[in-house]
Amino acid sequence: MKKLLLLLITLIFFAVSCSSSKKAENDDNAVLLDEDAVDVDEDNEDGIADDDEIEDIDPCEPNPCENLANSDGICSRKENSGFECGCAKGYFWGHSGCKKIILPHICTGQTKCYDMEKEIECPAKGEEFYGQDAHYAALGYCLPQSFTIRVSDKGEKTVVDNNTGLEWQQEFKPAAMISMDEAYYYCEYLNYGGHQDWRIPTLTELSTILHYDNSPTIDLEYFPDTSPDKFWTSSDFTSSYQVRYQSIIDFEKADKSSVWQSDFVEPPYPVATSVRCVRGETFETEIKANFMIELEEESFQGNPTTNLIWKQVIGNFDNSFSWAARLKYCEDLDFIGISEWRLANVRELETITADEVHFYSGSSSTTYAWSPEEHFGVTSYKDDRYLNYVCITENPCAEDKIWNGEKCVENLCLPNPCEESESSTDTCIFNLNGKRSCYCNYGYSWDSASKRCVKDEIPDETSDADTAETPDSDNSENGE
């Protein structure tokens, strides 16, 4: 009996020893696994490596920039696991590739968000007031303003625009002057900052330094002491009555207007106008080449220079359709197979204003920082409930192609045959059948036989209503 009891105790002892040894071995392995997990990611509490940590994928392999339009082919990896391509001179890396540096692609300067009364924290996508300039600037849809200060041997400061290459006076000639001739003389003979080749800026050039988040509307860090005055530009035009006008910009509210000019007499209403001189290669933006695509039941317009397309102008005659509602309408829009639409900002809006689209004023995604209930348009109103508005999106195709509602196709309006057509508004129209025509000036209609705009005949009493301004469905097809 004693022997049997001794044998049982021995078996129990061995069983307990083996179990303890096995548990210790498992515990050691567990510690080893935990240590390995810490080595992979010290912040990973679960001790499990993420997929992107297990396999580090290089977004530049294969190189997505190699055959990208307007790229130098160099791919750079970004911190968020994304990439960006180097762009050719005159282009920048934007939301949808390498974009040309032109006025509509330069950010308005707004980095803050507003409701109808005050500055607010920028809303998230889907929330009220989403779709403002600050949202899309942060997403890389535009090129941020960028300046560098230069100081001459005499201590005179100039401001270099790193985007356009233009060099500006930091100081300016205040509004003590009246005439354009005085402004011209001042810049022509200016010796400042070590240079003597100064000139009056064009309307486009002066527009590039407008900063819509300040009052006055300029970057006061680089252009301090700028007063909210009107400033001369060298851009002028002649009206249909052969009256010459000089374009000016009011830096109080970024309003663009014109002043009557004459080589013989002083303007009837003298304007106290300042001037800030500029030097460098002329920076201009030609944005007139528009086109229209006619789908089966819809149509949209676009511009190959900006690579933007827009839904037909939307009239706003409902007092209840507020700015927030317009932002939401464009954000929620699903049109011609594209869902990424937005309300145009003030720079983009100016590319749409043309006689052929009957759009002369409108509200935008840019707002007055000091008066949020006002929204910048081509013409700004205190009460803008009745202003038009435009939803825009980026052409998803290459520059020489256009979206037709389903896929990218050849853009039959490139080169634009209407630019050389007399009495045309320069707007080209084509439909899915490949037929194209031109918009004609008032009093002219498109003739498909001669492929040009011809003067309307004076209708008799039995004639139909005047249809001169827009070609009908038959005349808008020239069979090309």
Secondary structure class of 116 (helix, strand, coil):
coil
Range with the poorest average pLDDT among 141-150, 213-222, 279-288, 468-477: 468-477
Asked if residue 134 has pLDDT above 90, the reply is yes
**Rounded mean pLDDT, 460-472:** 45
What is the pLDDT, as a whole number, of residue 295? Answer: 85
What is the pLDDT, as a whole number, of residue 240? Answer: 59
What is the pLDDT, as a whole number, of residue 7? Answer: 45
For residues 254 and 214, the answer to whether their CB atoms sit within 8 Å is: no
What is the pLDDT, as a whole number, of residue 265? Answer: 54
Distance (Å, whole) CA 116 – CA 367: 9
Distance (Å, whole) CA 166 – CA 120: 34
Asked if residue 254 has pLDDT above 50, the reply is yes
- Helix ranges, 55-197 (H): 133-138, 180-188
Provide the mean pLDDT of the chain: 78
Which residues partner with 148 through β-bridges?
160
Share above pLDDT 90 across residues of the chain, in percent, rounded to a whole number: 35
The token duo for 450 is: 């001669």
What is the pLDDT, as a whole number, of residue 351? Answer: 83
**Rounded mean pLDDT, 198-210:** 95
- For residue 241, count other CB atoms closer than 10 A to its CB: 5
What is the pLDDT, as a whole number, of residue 126? Answer: 94
Contacts of residue 397, Cβ cutoff 8 Å, sequence gap at least 6: 403, 408
For residues 169 and 198, the answer to whether their CB atoms sit within 8 Å is: yes
Tell me the pLDDT band of 232, cut-offs 50, 70 and 90.
Answer: very high
What is the pLDDT, as a whole number, of residue 441? Answer: 84
**Rounded mean pLDDT, 279-292:** 82
Distance (Å, whole) CA 346 – CA 306: 14
* 268 exposure class (CB count in 10 Å sphere: 0-12, 13-18, 19+): exposed
Share above pLDDT 70 across residues of the chain, in percent, rounded to a whole number: 72
Asked if residue 122 has pLDDT above 60, the reply is yes
The token duo for 461 is: 């009493």
| Domain parsing of the chain, residue ranges | 147-279
The token duo for 387 is: 């202003």
Asked if residue 23 has pLDDT above 80, the reply is no
Asked if residue 227 has pLDDT above 80, the reply is yes
**Rounded mean pLDDT, 94-110:** 91
Distance (Å, whole) CA 383 – CA 372: 12
Range with the poorest average pLDDT among 13-27, 48-62, 422-436, 452-466: 13-27
What is the pLDDT, as a whole number, of residue 289? Answer: 62
Which residues partner with 112 through β-bridges?
none
List pLDDT tens digits, range 60-96.
Answer: 999 999 989 899 999 999 877 789 999 999 999 988 8
List pLDDT tens digits, range 153-196.
Answer: 999 999 999 999 999 999 998 877 668 888 999 999 999 999 99
Asked if residue 143 has pLDDT above 80, the reply is yes
Tell me the pLDDT band of 244, cut-offs 50, 70 and 90.
Answer: confident
What is the pLDDT, as a whole number, of residue 36? Answer: 34
Closest CA relative to residue 49, chosen from 36, 59, 40, 62: 40
CA dist 244 → 199, 239, 271, 274, 458 (Å): 20, 6, 15, 20, 32
Asked if residue 34 has pLDDT above 50, the reply is no
Torsion angle defined by CA atoms of residues 278, 282, 287 and 288, in that order, rounded to the nearest 10 degrees: 110
Secondary structure class of 13 (helix, strand, coil):
helix
Best mean pLDDT range from 18-27, 223-232, 288-297, 444-453: 223-232
What is the pLDDT, as a whole number, of residue 290? Answer: 78
DSSP 234: E
Give the predicted TM-score (pTM) of the model: 0.77
**Rounded mean pLDDT, 357-379:** 60
Tell me the pLDDT band of 478, cut-offs 50, 70 and 90.
Answer: very low
What is the pLDDT, as a whole number, of residue 30? Answer: 34
Range with the poorest average pLDDT among 154-163, 350-359, 381-390, 414-423: 381-390
Distance (Å, whole) CA 449 – CA 442: 20
* Of 175 and 123, the one with more pLDDT: 123
